[in-house]
């Protein structure tokens, strides 16, 4: 018998051609961030400096002197890597200190670090749903892929409720046996539309029906709340959530993810989650940088104040220019284009002609027909930068005959 002779590369290419045909193939910008120059970066494809408008380093902490100093100091003291998984020699003092800080930030007994926010969602939801016998997961329909994949991996029963809809959530909770263990999983700030969950209403329902609550604050930590503890902190609700999950890679500017919750819950995930147990721990310098970032943002209000100012200013200028954008209560400014090829075209023109980099957001990240330019202005964009961007957008809007928003 001879082995079948598949042309495997042709199979891969066929799948990629499908993406290219519908405009959802991803092109990566080859950027070089230069410490001290954010939001400017060198674009190697273009061979010039550009202004970045789509970074999730929302507050510019990835280049903050306090963070860089802590990382340099830790690198020189401890070296590059952690030396192992957390269980086998990889728990460095920096990890322990960071977990203490995160628990304190969210007013919880404990916290547990992961190598990314993706992994923290995947591993925690996957482990709770799989290991707590009969657990039913109630998941907001707009939840991030990391939560969806974790829940799927657990093979637990899942109920998907309508986005941000307490009425639908209650109907589903009511239909489940009162004594079944349950977990309600949702986000605070949704990354693409920038809307915010009705956290208190969800907590009330969870209490009424005896469910745990799992809140992803990835797009909120560092940015919301007096100490940067997220929307739950801002609303005084942190104590009502069973788990608050976050990232160290966005508002805090470094990399890594975490959960915070009761000591028993964190110990349980630490002890059973393979995505935590069997992976080399984050480098100590990463933990040291994140710790410096969190401590800095707990004490300083200036970055959050400037951030709000820039977001409000961008919205006002877009309104004046008649450029349609989604109105929401957060810092995310989605300029709606509504068609994949046009969205990519606008992004290309903005970059090539005006030096503004905004990655187009297409299906499957957002639904077809809602393709957009997702703008995340930060404290390091000046008002003049914003004027320049809106001027460029207005020129392209006019040239391409795109509909203006109603005044």
Q: Which range in 22-30, 211-219, 378-386, 394-402 contacts ligand PMP by CB under 6 A?
A: 211-219
Reported as type and span, the H/E element at residue 261 is strand 257-261
Q: Which range in 12-20, 116-124, 303-311, 319-327 contacts ligand PMP by CB under 6 A?
A: 116-124
Strand stretches in 18-174, DSSP E: 31-33, 40-43, 48-52, 110-114, 136-140, 157-161
Q: Which range in 37-45, 111-119, 197-205, 369-377 contacts ligand PMP by CB under 6 A?
A: 111-119
| Interface with ligand PMP, residue 57, by CB under 6 A | no
- Binding ligand PMP (rule: CB under 6 A), the pick from 78, 92, 116, 376 is 116
- Binding ligand PMP (rule: CB under 6 A), the pick from 118, 186, 209, 296 is 118
Which x/- pattern, by CB under 6 A, does the window 296-325 give for ligand PMP? ------------------------------
| Interface with ligand PMP, residue 213, by CB under 6 A | no
Which lies closer to ligand PMP via its Cβ, residue 121 or residue 317? 121
Rounding to the nearest 10 degrees, give the CA dihedral for residues 281, 282, 284, 289.
-160
Distance from C-alpha of 171 to C-alpha of 404, rounded to nearest angstrom: 40
Distance from C-alpha of 83 to C-alpha of 90, rounded to nearest angstrom: 5
Instruction: Say how many residues touch ligand PMP, by CB under 6 A.
Output: 14
Residues 6+ apart with CB under 8 A from 87: 277
| Interface with ligand PMP, residue 247, by CB under 6 A | yes
- Binding ligand PMP (rule: CB under 6 A), the pick from 43, 95, 144, 304 is 144
Which lies closer to ligand PMP via its Cβ, residue 144 or residue 317? 144
| Interface with ligand PMP, residue 230, by CB under 6 A | no
CB of 206 to ligand PMP, least distance (A): 19
The CA-atom distances, in angstroms, between 159 and each of 81, 110, 151, 153 are: 41, 28, 10, 15
| Interface with ligand PMP, residue 372, by CB under 6 A | no
Among the listed residues 133, 250, 308, 398, the single catalytic one is: 250
Question: Which long-range contacts does 100-105 make (Cβ < 8 Å, 24+ apart)?
Answer: 101/291, 101/294, 101/295, 102/246, 102/258, 102/260, 102/294, 103/260, 105/221, 105/227, 105/228, 105/229, 105/233, 105/260, 105/294, 105/298
Which lies closer to ligand PMP via its Cβ, residue 23 or residue 257? 257
Site for ligand PMP in 249-278 (CB under 6 A): 249, 257
Token output for 242: 């069973």
| Interface with ligand PMP, residue 293, by CB under 6 A | no
Q: In 214-368, where does DSSP find H-type helix?
A: 231-234, 263-272, 274-277, 284-299, 302-321, 340-354
Distance from C-alpha of 237 to C-alpha of 229, rounded to nearest angstrom: 11
Residues 6+ apart with CB under 8 A from 17: none
Distance from C-alpha of 207 to C-alpha of 199, rounded to nearest angstrom: 12
The answer to whether residue 250 is catalytic is: yes
CB of 322 to ligand PMP, least distance (A): 30
CB of 216 to ligand PMP, least distance (A): 5
Q: Which residue has the tokens 């929302």?
A: 58
Q: Is the dihedral of CA 338, 344, 350, 355 positive or negative?
A: positive
| Interface with ligand PMP, residue 218, by CB under 6 A | yes
| Interface with ligand PMP, residue 217, by CB under 6 A | no
CB of 270 to ligand PMP, least distance (A): 19
**Nearest residue to ligand PMP on Cβ basis:** 117
> Using alpha carbons only, how large is the chain's radius of gyration in Å?
22
| Interface with ligand PMP, residue 289, by CB under 6 A | no
Distance from C-alpha of 7 to C-alpha of 149, rounded to nearest angstrom: 30
| Interface with ligand PMP, residue 122, by CB under 6 A | no
CB of 244 to ligand PMP, least distance (A): 12
Residues 6+ apart with CB under 8 A from 360: 337, 340, 343, 344, 346, 347, 371, 372, 373
- Binding ligand PMP (rule: CB under 6 A), the pick from 140, 193, 216, 233 is 216
| Interface with ligand PMP, residue 117, by CB under 6 A | yes
| Three-class DSSP category at 402 | coil
Q: Which residues are catalytic?
A: 250
Contacts with ligand PMP, residue ranges (CB under 6 A): 116-118, 121, 144, 146, 187, 191, 216, 218-219, 247, 249, 257
């Amino acid at each position: 018998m001879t082995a079948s002779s598949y042309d495997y590369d042709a199979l891969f290419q066929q799948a990629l051609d499908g993406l290219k045909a519908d405009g959802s193939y991803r092109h990566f910008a080859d950027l070089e961030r230069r410490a001290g120059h954010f939001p400017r970066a060198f674009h190697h494809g273009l061979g010039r400096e550009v202004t970045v408008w789509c970074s999730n380093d929302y507050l510019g902490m990835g280049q903050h002197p306090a963070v860089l100093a802590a990382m340099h100091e830790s690198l020189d003291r401890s070296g590059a890597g952690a030396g192992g998984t957390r269980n086998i020699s990889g728990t460095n003092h920096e990890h322990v200190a960071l977990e203490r800080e995160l628990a304190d930030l969210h007013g919880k007994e404990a916290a547990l670090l992961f190598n990314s926010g993706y992994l923290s969602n995947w591993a925690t939801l996957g482990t709770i749903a799989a290991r707590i016998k009969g657990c039913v997961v109630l998941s907001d329909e707009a939840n991030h892929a990391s939560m969806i994949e974790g829940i799927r991996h657990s093979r637990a029963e899942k109920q998907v409720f309508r986005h941000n809809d307490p009425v639908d959530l209650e109907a589903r909770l009511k239909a489940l046996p009162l004594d079944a263990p349950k977990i309600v999983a949702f986000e605070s700030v949704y990354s693409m539309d920038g809307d915010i969950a009705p956290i208190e209403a969800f907590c009330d329902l969870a209490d009424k029906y005896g469910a745990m609550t799992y809140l992803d604050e990835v797009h909120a930590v560092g940015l919301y709340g007096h100490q940067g503890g997220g929307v739950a902190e801002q609303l005084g609700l942190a104590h009502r959530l069973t788990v608050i999950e976050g990232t160290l890679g966005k508002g805090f500017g470094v990399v890594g993810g975490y959960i915070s919750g009761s000591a028993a819950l964190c110990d349980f995930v630490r002890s059973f989650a393979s995505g935590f147990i069997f992976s080399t721990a984050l480098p100590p310098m990463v933990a040291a940088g994140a710790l410096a970032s969190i401590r800095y943002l707990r004490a300083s209000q200036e970055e959050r104040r400037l951030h709000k100012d820039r977001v409000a200013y961008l919205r006002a200028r877009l309104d004046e220019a008649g450029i349609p954008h989604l109105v929401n209560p957060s810092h995310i400014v989605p300029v709606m284009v509504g068609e994949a090829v046009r969205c990519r075209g606008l992004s290309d023109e903005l970059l090539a002609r005006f030096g503004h980099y905004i990655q187009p957001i297409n299906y499957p990240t957002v639904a077809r027909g809602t393709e957009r330019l997702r703008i995340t202005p930060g404290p390091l964009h000046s008002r003049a930068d914003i004027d320049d961007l809106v001027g460029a957008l207005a020129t392209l809007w006019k040239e391409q005959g795109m509909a203006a928003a109603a005044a």
